[in-house]
Amino acid sequence: MIQELHQKLITKEISATELARDYLRRIEEKNPVLNAFITVAEKEALKQAEKVDKKIANGDEISLLAGIPVAIKDVIMTEGIKTTAGSKILENYIAPYDATAAKKIKDAGAVILGKNNCDEFAMGSSTENSAFGPTKNPHDLARVPGGTSGGSSCAVAADLSVYSLGTDTGGSVRQPAAFCGVVGLKPTYGSVSRYGLIADASSLDQIGPLTKNVADAKIVFDMIKGKDEKDATSVSLKHKNIKTLKQKDSLAGFKIGIPQEYFIKGIDAEVEIAVREVIEKVRELGAEIIEVSLPYTEYALAVYYIIQPAEASANLARFDGIRYGNRGITRNTTLNYADKLIDVYKKTRAEFLGDEVKRRIMLGTYALSAGYYDAYYKKAGQVRTLIRKDFKKVFDKVDILLTPTTPTPAFKLGEKTNDPLTMYLEDIFTVPANLSGVPAMSLPCSKTKTGLPIGVQLIAPWFNEDALFEVGERLEKSNL
C-alpha cells in the first residue's frame, strides 16, 4: 500500500494534502465510535503534507514514507503534540522532543495524523485500561481491539491511517494485530531505538510497525531501525545472516519449526484449525516442517509478570506530581512541612493512576523489596535465561517458528476486566519472544465463522527480521 501511494504522489495522481485531508475526514467520521485516537494533529499533518507537495512540485526526490499518513501510539514522544501514555497523570503533557523512531519517519516526510489510544502506560491486553475510554474493534464494536496498541491496530484496520507505530512489551503489537486483522512486527530487542519511548519495562519494550501487509512492515522497519547514540541498548544492523529464498513463490529449503507448547489445552478450536491450515500451506510451498520443543515456555508468563511489574515500578517512580504529572494537591492546601511531600505522592498517584497501573506498581515493588528480590526477580531472571537458551537450541535446527499469535479471537468488551489473571493469559503465546529478545510478527491468516480475524505468528532468530518478511510475503501471495 505504501509503495502504491508513493507512486501516486510522485506521478501527481494525488497530492499529499489531498491524502491527508481524506484520512482526517475518516478520523472525524469514525473516531467518535472507535476511539482509536486520543489526539488528532490536523494542523501539524496538513503543514507536513504541504511541505511534501512543494518538494514534489520542485522535482525533488522524496522517500517512500513522504506524504504517507501515519498514526503513533501515545507512549511515543512527538514534539509539540500531546503525549499522554493513556493516563490522566499526563493528560496535558506536551512532548518537548521527538522519540528517535518518530523523528526518523518525520525526517522522511511522514504525515503524522495524531496519537493512538492505548492501555495506560502500556499495561493491559485490551485497551480497556486507557484513562480516555476503550477502543473498539472495527470488525465488531462489542469486542476489544487488543492491547496495548489497540488504538494503533484499530486505526490501520479501519483505514484511519496507512500504518502506525506501536510498542510491544509482551505482545502489544502482535496481539492487537491478530485481533484486528493487520500485520504487526515486534523487532529484535535493540534493533529500534527506545529513546523517547515512555518506558514500561525497559528490558522488554520495543517499538514496531502495524501495517496492512508485510511489504509495508518491511518499509517502515527499514526506516526506523538502527543504532542510536541516545540509546545504549540499540545496535547497528549492517551485518545480516539470513537465508534468502531464490524462488518467489516457494519456501523450498526453509525449515519451519512447530513448537508443541503453543498448542495447549484451552486454545480456541477455530484458532487451532486456522493455524494448522497455515502449517499445511507452508508444507505445500515446499518448506520442511519440523516438530520442536521449547520446554521452558510454560514458565514464560509467570516470569513476564514478575519482570514487567518490577521494571515498571521503577520506571513509573518519576510520575509523582513533582517531576512529571498532575498534582493531587493544590498550593493552598494546609499541610505540616514533614507531611507535605508524602501527601503529594499519595494524592497524585491515588487520583491520576488507574487500577491496573497501581496493581503492577505494587506487585513490582514487592518483588524488588528486601527479602523477596532473590526469591522472585532474581529467580525470574534465571528462568528467562533458560527461555532464551531454548530458542537458541531450536534455531540451530530450524530457520523460523510458526505458532498461533493468540489463544482466542477478540473477546468482548468488559468480559475479562474483573479477572486480571484471565486477561494476562491472552499474552501466553507472545511473551516468550519479548523475554528472549527475538523478532516476531503476526499476520492475518483466517477468520472465525462470525468474521473475527485470526492471526498466525512467525518467530525468527535474533536480527533476522528479513526471514520474517521472506516467509510472510510468500504466505500473503498464497492467499493466506
Active site residues per annotation = 73, 172
Round to whole Å and give the CA distance between 161 and 211: 9
**Cis peptide bond N-terminal to 148, omega within 30:** yes
Round to whole Å and give the CA distance between 84 and 378: 32
Joined grid coordinates for residue 297: 515456555
Phi, psi of 335 (to 5 degrees): -140, 150
Round to whole Å and give the CA distance between 68 and 17: 10
Round to whole Å and give the CA distance between 396 and 400: 10
Q: Are 120 and 357 in contact (CB under 8 A)?
A: yes
Q: Name the DSSP class of 377.
A: I
Residue written as grid cell 518499509: 219
Among 265, 325, 263, residue whose Cα is nearest residue 293:
263
Residue-wise burial string across 6-26, b where 16 or more C-beta atoms lie within 10 A, e elsewhere:
beebeeeeebbbebbbebbeb
> Residue 387 CB: number of other CB atoms within 10 A?
22
Among 437, 480, 399, 463, residue whose Cα is nearest residue 183:
480
Joined grid coordinates for residue 223: 526506516
Among 349, 301, 112, 74, residue whose Cα is nearest residue 200:
74
Facing residues of 255 across strands? Answer: 288
Among 330, 474, 316, 329, residue whose Cα is nearest residue 400:
474
Among 176, 192, 197, 175, residue whose Cα is nearest residue 75:
197
Task: Find all residues with CB under 8 Å of 139, minimum gap 6, and list them.
Answer: 157, 180, 181, 410, 451, 452, 453
Among 128, 131, 181, residue whose Cα is nearest residue 418:
128
Q: Are 473 and 467 in contact (CB under 8 A)?
A: no
Burial category of 419 from C-beta neighbours within 10 Å (exposed 0-12, middle 13-18, buried 19 and up)? exposed
Residue 362 CA to chain centroid, in angstroms? Answer: 24
Round to whole Å and give the CA distance between 308 and 303: 8
Length of the chain: 480
